[in-house]
Structure 1
Amino acid sequence: MNFLLSIGSERNWYKYFEFNEQTDNRTDIRNILLVVFTLIAAVTFQAGVNPPGGVWQDGNGNQYHIPGTAIYASQTKYYYVFLIANTLAFSYAIFVILSLTHKFPFHFELWIATMSMATTYVSAIFAVTPREAVKFRFILITAFVPFIVRFGIHCFRVCYKKIVE
């Protein structure tokens, strides 16, 4: 009840939960981010392995679908958007997890396990997606977007620092 009273009309709930560098512990924030991004990685991994609508179970004499492929892939445009967005979310979650655990004990082992999970994700996507539904090069490019964006930001900062100095 005290919590509800502390969020009166003068302060909104968003402002109440906002990060405050003076009062919030960096270790706690990192732990919270690790939990959130691990949840995102788990959900997106599961969605990639078992796409919405499931997979075709048998041929049933139907020439239009192959057993083991995504039912959702029959709606090519929507499935393509799903795969791009899901892969982007999965890649960013993996990137943030690896960034937040940099120089932790067993970081190399975490890197190997994470890359193995990413490989499993990619192989599952390839297995359940009919070849004609998606151009896989775009999915692979999407998987590298977080790394490309961070590298671009790093290069921009280095160049900007040299120009300013």
Structure 2
Amino acid sequence: MAERPKNNRKSWFRYFQYDEGRESPGDARNVLLIVAGLIAAVTFQAGVNPPGGVWQDDENGHHAGRAIYSYQTREFYIFLISNTVALSTSILILISLTHSFPFQFEIILATASMVVTYASAIFAVTPDDLVKFRYIFAAAAVPFAIRCFLQMWNEMKAKVTDGEVDQGV
């Protein structure tokens, strides 16, 4: 049985950290799948039903179905971009962790459909002149671009390290 942590924050953090000796990679993957799935669900819902809701009628210069929050332009953009980055990151994690699983094609199809639904909902609830497609697309691409960059960086580092080892350095 694991040793009970002392009554300070540092030991609590250590106690709940992933430990290769205690947990299997499969258990870690399952936890990550649950966490990424929850983040995807929450961010999807927030995009489809933005904070503050949507206008219910076309009175006082407002349009029915448009996000009330979108009239606070800067704050709405921060929300929209942050929410999109969170959704995109969770999708990247889900796709990465289910790579080579049975029904992977169906997982990717469902995920792509969810992304299209999210994008169409954002464009439906946001005033036409407010959303710039390029900002939302860039926000969605950020996690994938960072992951590709890190992968290339690690491969280059490994080649340099292997080259040093091969040369006897």
Q: How high is the TM-score relative to the length of structure 2?
A: 0.89
Aligned to 2:4: 6
Specify every segment of 5 or more residues in structure 1 that has no aligned partner in the other structure, as ranges: none
129-138 vs 49-58, which moves further: 129-138
Specify every segment of 5 or more residues in structure 2 that has no aligned partner in the other structure, as ranges: 164-169
Report the secondary structure of 2:85's partner residue. helix
Compute the displacement of 1:27 (Å): 0.9
Distance in 1, Cα, partners of 2:147 & 2:7:
39
The share of aligned pairs that are identical, in percent, is 50
Aligned to 1:155: 152
Distance in 1, Cα, partners of 2:139 & 2:153:
21
RMSD: 1.8
Q: Is contact 2:123-2:131 (8 Å) kept?
A: no
Q: How high is the TM-score relative to the length of structure 1?
A: 0.91
Output the amino acid matched with 1:38: G
Aligned positions of 1:118-157 closer than 5 A: 118-157=115-154
Compute the displacement of 1:158 (Å): 2.5
Aligned length: 161
Matched, 1:113 2:110: yes
Aligned positions of 1:84-123 closer than 5 A: 84-123=81-120
Q: Is contact 1:44-1:86 (8 Å) kept?
A: yes
Aligned to 1:39: 38
Distance in 2, Cα, partners of 1:159 & 1:37:
29
